[in-house]
Homo-oligomer: A and B are copies of this chain.
Amino acid sequence: MVSLDFISKLAHPADTKIILCVLDGLGGAPGGDKGLTELDEAKTPNLDALALKSSLGLADPVSPGITPGSGPGHMGLFGYDPIKYFIGRGVLSAAGVGLEMKQGDIAARINFCTVDGQGIVTDRRAGRIPTETCVKLCEKLGGELKVPGVEILVRPEREHRAAVLFRGEGLDHNIGDTDPQREGLHWLEPKALKPEAAKAAGIVGQFLAQVGKILSAEKPANMVLLRGFDAPPHLPQFADAFKLKAAAVAVYPMYRGLASLVGMKVIPVEGEAIKDEVATVGKIWKDYDFVYLHVKKTDSYGEDGNRPSKVHIIEEFDAALPKLLALKPSVLVITGDHSTPTLLKGHSWHPCPVLLAADTARRDGFARFTEVNCARGTLGHFQAVDLMPLMLAHALRLDKFGA
């Protein structure tokens, strides 16, 4: 890994185009008698044909053995050292719901919850209210909240989840969660974890008092719990760092938010299927030179431990692949931000399979895109943060280093 600054000095504009396909949680682990992974099991004629003339490799999202959240997983793929450029859940959530954060803003994640008359939390998720209710409650809060000197924006995410942004002078994000983490306890007063956060903690306290009044007649969601107070990190933007005009095609809020944080243009997608995302890439193709395409459900089904469905999503991507190839990208990469084996029902540390297709890519000649073939591939076993320089290189967008 070289520094982002090192890459930025070598990066230059070009006419070439790159597609980065992130199949969230793509990597798998052994299952069944034969110990096959989900990629082993999937029937993927188009990926197989592409693998034959591509370079394969395995990427560690952070470092061997480390299981990343979506934030670090994506930061690595986008070329940012995921330890140096750590992004908290609050910023992820806020960005993901379309709150464009500026330096000085602070944000937190909201869970709508149910409290009794004494403020005791009786349901931390308010019965997982439908998203429409969440939207309605956020609008109500937005219309009625008033804390002097501070702008407060509340945006719905999904079900009981939302995000809140506080914009004002001298706000520090070092504030404790107000979620007591289990039912039967009173929600916690926001506590300044550092002296400089005292002002912000006071404002959050006023916010909560007002929320309690505004929602008092609502059922079942009559209060909010706040978690993960955070401020946006300074992230060099894609256009400056890599000289790329970049677009993001993603259905889920968090990934749209991540892309937005590094300066990608987030493109609206009509529909939620992979083919809808691919069609969206086609529509904007002429206007961008880097497209990040995110497929969520490989991860969702991995988390559920639903092996047949995870396999099916890989096959669905395979079916959509020819339309991406028809765009003739100079460089096409297919990988994950981390592994989510159905075996573990959660993110894991297993390195991510990587396929890099380009006219300049050495051909491994493997007939299938699988983890084991990737382990023997010409890209080797590398850190995910090195993928961005590799893509830029194959797109002939990096100058020579030294004479």
Contact = CB atoms under 8 A, between A and B. Distances in A.
Interface of A: 1-2, 6, 10, 29-30, 35, 37, 53, 58, 62-72, 82-83, 86-89, 92, 228, 341, 343-344, 346-351, 359-365, 371-372, 375-382, 386, 388-393, 398-403
A1 B66 CA distance: 10
A38 to B, nearest CB: 12
Contacts of A400: 67-69, 346-347
Contact of A64 (B66, B68, B389, B403): B389
A343 B1 CA distance: 26
Nearest to A388: B65
Contact of A390 (B29, B65, B365, B376): B65
A348 B362 contact: no
B393 A67 contact: yes
25 contacts: A2-B62, A2-B63, A6-B83, A29-B361, A30-B53, A30-B363, A35-B53, A64-B382, A64-B390, A65-B389, A66-B398, A67-B400, A69-B402, A72-B402, A82-B402, A87-B402, A89-B403, A349-B390, A349-B393, A362-B371, A362-B372, A362-B375, A363-B372, A364-B372, A380-B381
Nearest to A73: B402
A69 B371 contact: no
Given A67-B393, A67-B399, A375-B378, 19 more contacts: A6-B83, A10-B66, A30-B359, A30-B361, A64-B386, A64-B390, A65-B386, A65-B390, A66-B401, A68-B400, A68-B401, A69-B403, A88-B402, A228-B403, A343-B360, A346-B400, A350-B360, A362-B371, A376-B376
